[in-house]
Structure 1
C-alpha cells in the first residue's frame, strides 16, 4: 500500500505501472467473466489502468489497493456492456438442427469465447496461489460463462464480486455505488436465473484435469485424425451436444452428431485433419487444423473445448474462429 501511495503522489507513471502490472492477468480474467470475450477483457483492463492512473489521488488506502482496482475494472466492464450486446451461445438462439437439413452460415452476433488455461495459470502464478478463486473451475467453465451471460449487467457484476471473489455485501455495495439491500436483491435474482440454466454439477468440478478428461481428449484426437467417426461417437454421452460458434447450428444426441461427422466432417470435408491438445476454461481442449483437398498445408480451423461428464464427452464446442489461435499460442501444424 505504501508503495502504491508513494508511486502515485509524485506522478511517477513508470513506478505506478510497475505496481499495477502484476495484477493484469487476474484483472483480465475478472473482465472476461463480465464480458465473455478475450479481446473485450483486454480492452477493459487497458481502460482500468488508464482510469486508475488518472484517479490515483482518489486512492486513500482505506481499502486494499487490489479491491480498489477491481472496483474500477468492474465499472469499466459495466460501461462496456452498456455499449455492447451480451455474448451469445448457440443453444440460446435455436433448437437442435437436423443433420441432413441444416445451414452452417456464420451469424454476425457477439459470441462467447473460450479462455486459454495458459492465461489462467499465469494469473495464479502471479499471485503464487495455484487454487486462487480468480481461476477456480466452477466460475470459469463455459457452462457458467454461458449462464451468466443471461444476467443483466448489474446482476452479473454482483454475482461475480460476491460469489466468485467472495466479497462482502458491504464491499460490493461500495464498489458498485449501490445499497446493501440492492446487492442482496440482485444476488437473489441472479441465483434464481442460474438455477434454471446452469447444470447441477458444481460440486464435482475440479481445478486440475481428471484422468477421464485426459483420456477422453487423447482418444478424441486419435479418432478424429484417423477420420473414424464411429470411434469418436463412442466417446459421447447419449445426450451429447456439438456446438459450433459463430453459427447457431448445433446437434443434439449421438445419432445426429454421428450423421454430421460421417457425412460432413469426414465426408464432404475429407479426412485431412490434425489436432493439437490444449486447455481452455479449465476444460480439455484442442486446436483443430484442416487441410483442404489438394492443399499441402494444414490451416487453423477451430478451437475445440470438451465438457466431460464422468467417462463420456457431454459436449464439444467448436469455435470456428481461427483468430483465437494466437491467444492459445498454438504453433502452425504440418
Structure 2
C-alpha cells in the first residue's frame, strides 16, 4: 500500500506514447472512431495490461487538470479521474487498436466528466449555459495565461463546451485539431467556443472569491485535536477514533474499508518521519494540510480530508499523499 518509488511522469508518458493499445472507443459510435485514432478492426495481439497501466500513470496529472476544471473542484475532479481509469480498463478488454492513446484516454475523461455533471444537475446543482456576446480576442498566449490563473470556480461560469475547449487548448496545450478530435466536434466549433470562453474568463479574472466561511468551533476543535495527536505520533489514540465501517481512500494507491484494515494506515505514517499536519481550508471545507519532505521540499505537500459521524467517529479518510498533482489545482488557506 505504501511505497515512495516514483518514476518521472514525463518518462512514463514518453514510454507510453511509443505503444499502441487495443480497445473500443468509449462512446461506441463508429463514425467517431477515426476522429481520435481508433481502428475499428480487431488485432491479433492482446492488450498488454502493463502498457495500459503505464499510460494511465503518466497521464493521471493531465487528466486531473482537465477533470478538475470541468468540475470546478480538485476533489470532484479526482473522482472523475478514478472513474475515467476504471472505464479505460473496461474498454481495453476488447479488441481494436488505438493509434493515439492520449487522445483516447482524454475522450474517456471528457465523457466521464459529462456524466458527472449530469449527475450533479440531477442532484439540484446548476451549470451556467448563458449566451455570451462576442468579445475581442487578445491572443492565444494571453488567453493561456488567463486560463492558467483562473480559479476553479471561474470555469463553472463557462458552458460545458467552452470549458472543455479552453482547458484542452489553453491549459493542456492541445491544438485546435486535437481538441476537436477529442471532443468529436468541428474545428470551427472549437474556435467559437474558445472565443466565448476566453472572453468570459477575462471578465471573471480579478473577481475575488467568496470570503472564507467561518468554521464551527466544535469542528475546528475536532480537527485540531486530530492534528495534535498525529504530530505527537499518538496513533493509538487516532485508531480509537475510527468507526467500525470507516473507509480509506489513499488516492492513486489503495482503498480500504473497515476499522481493522484501515488501522494499518497509521502504522505507515508512524514510519514516515518528518510529516506533520496543520489546519486549513479548501473548496469550502476544512482540510488537514500535510508538510512532508518525502513528497515536497517545502510548503504544503498534500491535503487529507476527514468525515465524521454524529458521535465524533471518523467515517472516511481521503489522503492525497500519492496524488501531489492535486495541489496544482487546489487553493488552500491556513486556519
TM-score (norm 2): 0.44
Structure possessing the higher relative contact order (Cα contacts under 8 Å, 6 or more residues apart): 1
TM-score (norm 1): 0.45
